[in-house]
A = this chain, B = another copy of it.
Amino acid sequence: MRREAILRACFTVAAREGLGGVTARAVATEADVSSGLVFFYFASVDNLLVELLDWLLPRTIISSQFIGPPPTHAEPGERLMSVIRQDVERLPRQRARLELFFDYWVLGLRDPNIRRKIRRAADRYRASFRPLGEALIEAHPHRYADVSAEGLADVVASFVEGCALQVVMHPAQFDIERSMATLAALVRQPQHAAIH
């Protein structure tokens, strides 16, 4: 109970002031307990931050392995586009958590422990695109002759993560519909294309 309250307070402080603003005293004040209690339950501030990260990762799209109900389109290309659209559309609702995620991301550049956790989560996210990628390649073996599912996953992940950056930094300017329509136009094939 108290533990969860402190962890929740930690998230509140972090969302408001960034990870740099997370001090034992700030969290304790936010949770309305004494500063000593933070150390009683979490031993150290670093450890508190790691536990907050463990809470955060499964709740942030970019790092979650759960992508929601599988789309029902038959065409693998449309299925993949649908999943991308779903993910990108969810980004704005996650702004606070994404800000925090990127804050941890930078922390991970210096902290091997945090880096490992973020990498694993990101790998899981990338891997979630693999089945769709394989289906796509299988459906168009000619077009995607020199393409691997890993390559597809990388490209898709790069795009979604890039969108996340835009959404967090420039939410007003980034037009999701426009970007998705552009992406669709870029990858779509002419309707009745005659190959060779």
Contacts and interface: CB of A to CB of B under 8 A. Distances in A.
Interface of A: 17-18, 20, 99, 102-103, 105-106, 108-110, 115, 118-119, 122, 143-144, 146-148, 150-152, 154-155, 157-163, 165-166, 168-170, 174-175, 178-179, 181-183, 185-187, 189-196
A169 to B, nearest CB: 7
Contacts of A115: 169
**This protein's copies in its complex:** 2
Nearest to A150: B178
A42 to B, nearest CB: 20
Contacts of A110: 17-18, 20
Contacts of A122: 169-170
A154 B178 contact: yes
A114 to B, nearest CB: 11
A154 B169 CA distance: 13
B106 A185 contact: no
Contacts of A181: 146-147, 151
Given A102-B105, A110-B18, A144-B185, A165 B155 contact: no
Given A109-B18, A119-B169, A194-B192, A162 B157 contact: yes
